[in-house]
Amino acid sequence: ISSDFSLLFCGCVIGWFNTGPACALEITSQIKYYYVAGDSSVTLQCEFVLASDNLAHTEIEWIIVPPDRDKDEDVIIWYTGGIIYDNLHSPQRVHFTSPEPQDGIASITMTDLKHTDSGTYQCKVKKLPDIASKNLFLSVMERPSKPRDLRLRCRSSQGTPPLVYKWAKRSGLPLHAFVDTIMGDLYLKKISERDCGMYLYEVENLVGKEECEVVLTAAVVSVVVVIVTVITTVICYHRRKKTQEEFGNRILEEAPPPYPRPSRKRPSSHTQGSVQVRKC
């Protein structure tokens, strides 16, 4: 075999080995998606293997990949020259799980997670001339809240006792609802979004009645932890026209007391806390 052929053969063999499946630097961690509850901790895994003959300096960098590629990447922790820089983004909340990340474990732990921590994270390992990186996706989610109870209260500022209170819902009161007809309270047990809607309450005595509306929205249900500590009070003002009052004072003894028709004045609306109230 000629010397030229020998050189060509050796070059082909070396080229085949260089383009083979073996990598001088490779990240071996498999998990890409992380779903974690807020206020908890998570470990983003980034383990890698190095070629034993590469004696170059190792550098490890974790960044947050911005949704907009035109924006700069945000470095959250960095290892270089034997020094760890962990106060770049969230001091005291991000640290390497290994005190020697250059040895192959570049995983990080994030504590006290917030919703704003959700995003795409990239682990990048450099050992020149080799560079390896891997994207990980973190979603910080809110735990479902425990169902709570809610009380709606109707009060008439005027009116001669006895007063009787009634509650209704256009789609029907929930099965778990309880109405206190004497005190005027509506109790809803373990409320959820299906309890949202229009609630009607009525107060009446022997000579008249008034009606009002309450709208229970999804915003109220979503902040039920706050609602449980605050009793939503709805005051129904009993209004009558002056002419109706004068007429009521001229009732004849022989005739039964007239039953005035409910006011047809168009209800106005206002917002009380997170509950919308329409008042007669």
Chain segment 92-145, per-residue pLDDT in tens: 899 999 999 999 999 999 999 999 999 999 999 999 899 999 999 999 998 876
Q: What pLDDT score was predicted for residue 221?
A: 52
Three-class SS state of 74: strand
β pairing state of 83-85 and 94-96: unpaired
Domain identity same for 137 and 159: no
User: What digits encode the pLDDT tens for the residues 207-248?
Assistant: 888 888 888 776 555 444 333 333 344 444 344 443 344 434
Residue 49 sits in the same domain as residue 109: yes
Residues 165 and 82 in one domain: no
Select the more confidently predicted residue: 201 or 126: 126
Q: What three-state secondary structure class fits 221?
A: helix
Domain carrying residue 96: 23-141
DSSP 159-201: -PSP-EEEEEETT---TTEEEETTTTEEEESS--GGG-EEEEE
Residue 101 has a pLDDT of: 96
Whole-model pTM?
0.52
Quick one: average pLDDT of 61-70? 91
Q: Is residue 171 part of a domain?
A: yes
Domain boundary among 141, 161, 196: 141
Is residue 2 scored above 60 in pLDDT?
no
Q: Which residues contact 40 (CB under 8 A, 6 or more apart)?
A: 113
From the CB of residue 50, how many other CB atoms can be counted at a distance below 10 Å? 20
pLDDT tens-place string over residues 146-194: 667 778 877 777 787 888 888 888 788 888 888 888 888 888 887 777 7
Pairing of strands 119-127, 59-65: antiparallel
CATH number at residue 210: 2.60.40.10
Closest by CA to 136, choosing from 113, 118, 115, is 118
Q: Which of 98, 94, 107, 109 is nearest to 48 (CA)?
A: 107
In a domain? residue 222:
yes
